[in-house]
Amino acid sequence: ESALSKPASAFMKKATKLGKISTAGGTDPKVIMERDQLKEEVARLRNRYSELQFSTNSMMKEKSAMAEELARLKSSASTQAGELESSMQDRQAHLQEKEKEMAELRAQLQNTMRETEREKSEITASSSEAEAKLTKKVSKLKKELQIKADELRAALERVENADAAMNGKLNQSNQFLTMKKMMMAKSQQVTELRKRLAMYEPPDEDIADGDA
């Protein structure tokens, strides 16, 4: 049975038996002195035991609170990581879509350029109006291509920012390591307190039995 599980009344047997020592020893000064010394020792041990028990209980409560906080932080980090991963997947899909649009637009521009060159070779000197129309069409496609390129660069920048944000969140996991180290230290302190409590644990046999 550990010291923590024994009630404080276990120490009361010592004081009760000390009264028996006084009755048995009569007025012998030596017996009276030993009795008084034993009373003081029992009182000192009882006070020390109470202090250690209080310290142990406080440490256990603190450890429990830290464990709850660690669990909360882990849950929060897991939720944030899931949200960031989902956001990254959406951004990657958006980026792929933009790249596909860029590829299609490039192909369309190349076809238009080839068609323009072919039509230019067929028109006569008097067909300046048709040439201007084709040139305008090419210019429009070039502008559209530039817009798509700008959108692609913006999408890439958003993905890079999201990567940086995720890395920042993951770096915050250092506080979990710190919390774990603190919990391990508290656990070690509780273990040491339990050992010290065992030193003050009331013995099974009463201290006065040897004088009976």
Query: How far apart are the C-alpha atoms of 6 and 1, rounded to whole Å?
Result: 7
CATH number of this structure's domain 8-211, picked from the four choices 3.30.70, 1.10.3470, 1.10.287, 3.30.460: 1.10.287
What pLDDT score was predicted for residue 154? 77
- The pLDDT tens digits of the residues spanning 90-128 come to 877 877 887 788 788 788 878 877 877 776 666 555 566
Query: How far apart are the C-alpha atoms of 160 and 91, rounded to whole Å?
Result: 10
Q: Where do the structural domains in the chain lie, given as residue ranges?
A: 8-211
Residues of the chain with pLDDT under 50: 1-5, 8, 11-25, 204-212
N residues, the chain: 212
Phi and psi at 124, nearest 5°, equal -95, 180
Query: How far apart are the C-alpha atoms of 41 and 202, rounded to whole Å?
Result: 12
What pLDDT score was predicted for residue 211? 43
What pLDDT score was predicted for residue 83? 79
What pLDDT score was predicted for residue 205? 46
- Confirm if 88 and 96 have CB atoms less than 8 A apart: no
What pLDDT score was predicted for residue 173? 64
Handedness of CA 47, 48, 52, 53 (dihedral sign): negative
